[in-house]
């Protein structure tokens, strides 16, 4: 991905409460985030709402964004987490569930017909609950709250490498348990990884 020229200054101005840099970021990232979102949701109806919330969160967290090197990961993490929330909301909506099921995110990743979405969600929640307490806490801070490794480390007063270790272990365990259940769907990947 091409980086915005002068990203360091843009982020600095943003942190100093200037609104114009947000528009620059929006114009640069919106098309990329839109395509990224479309590849996950496969339903375009709510993408604009999700992306609007992404930029609201960037504005709300503008003082925490320190370096251009981490901004790209930051914006995609926020987007991914909001998309996951939208997917969860859609899966709880019967009409959206049918549409997602019919489109199945990609033809080659169709769920086994007998596996219903609610059952899948319950199974995954159970697997997440099986994680050791500290791993579960770190995993949920990353995946549900959208915190970076550094933010989690600061919040829990541990080293970023410790956060990385716990998330890696959590993801490895979840993948293993999902494979044991025969769930190898792209949907599961996007919901929890």
- As annotated, the residues of the chain forming the CATH 1.10.1740.10 domain(s) are 1-103
Q: What is the pLDDT of residues 83-136, one digit of tens each?
A: 888 877 776 665 655 665 565 544 444 444 344 555 666 777 788 889 999 999
Residue with tokens 């990743």: 109
- As annotated, the residues of the chain forming the CATH 1.10.10.10 domain(s) are 112-193
Range from 16-25, 116-125, 134-143, 151-160 carrying the lowest mean pLDDT? 116-125
CATH number for region 112-193 = 1.10.10.10
Please answer whether residues 36 and 79 qualify as being in contact, where contact means their C-beta atoms are separated by less than 8 angstroms. yes
In this prediction, residue 173 carries a pLDDT of 85
How far apart CA 88 and CA 94 sit, in angstroms, is 12
In this prediction, residue 107 carries a pLDDT of 45
Would you give the DSSP letter of residue 105? Answer: S
How far apart CA 155 and CA 13 sit, in angstroms, is 26
How far apart CA 3 and CA 144 sit, in angstroms, is 27
In this prediction, residue 142 carries a pLDDT of 81
CATH class label, 1-103:
mainly alpha
């Amino acid at each position: 991905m091409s980086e915005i020229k002068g990203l360091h200054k843009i982020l600095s101005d943003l942190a100093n409460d200037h609104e114009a840099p947000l528009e620059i970021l929006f114009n640069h990232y919106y098309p990329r985030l839109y395509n990224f979102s479309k590849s996950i949701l496969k339903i375009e109806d709510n993408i604009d709402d999700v992306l609007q919330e992404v930029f609201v969160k960037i504005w709300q967290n503008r003082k925490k964004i320190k370096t251009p090197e981490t901004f790209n990961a930051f914006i995609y993490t926020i987007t991914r987490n909001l998309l996951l929330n939208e997917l969860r909301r859609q899966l709880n909506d019967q009409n959206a569930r049918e549409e997602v099921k019919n489109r199945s995110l990609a033809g080659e990743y169709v769920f086994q017909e007998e596996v219903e979405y609610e059952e899948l969600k319950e199974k995954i929640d159970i697997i997440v609950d099986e994680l050791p307490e500290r791993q579960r806490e770190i995993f949920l801070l990353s995946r549900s709250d959208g915190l970076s490794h550094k933010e989690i480390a600061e919040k829990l007063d541990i080293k970023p490498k410790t956060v990385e270790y716990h998330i890696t272990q959590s993801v490895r365990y979840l993948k293993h348990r999902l494979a044991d259940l025969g769930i190898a769907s792209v949907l599961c990947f996007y919901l929890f990884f």
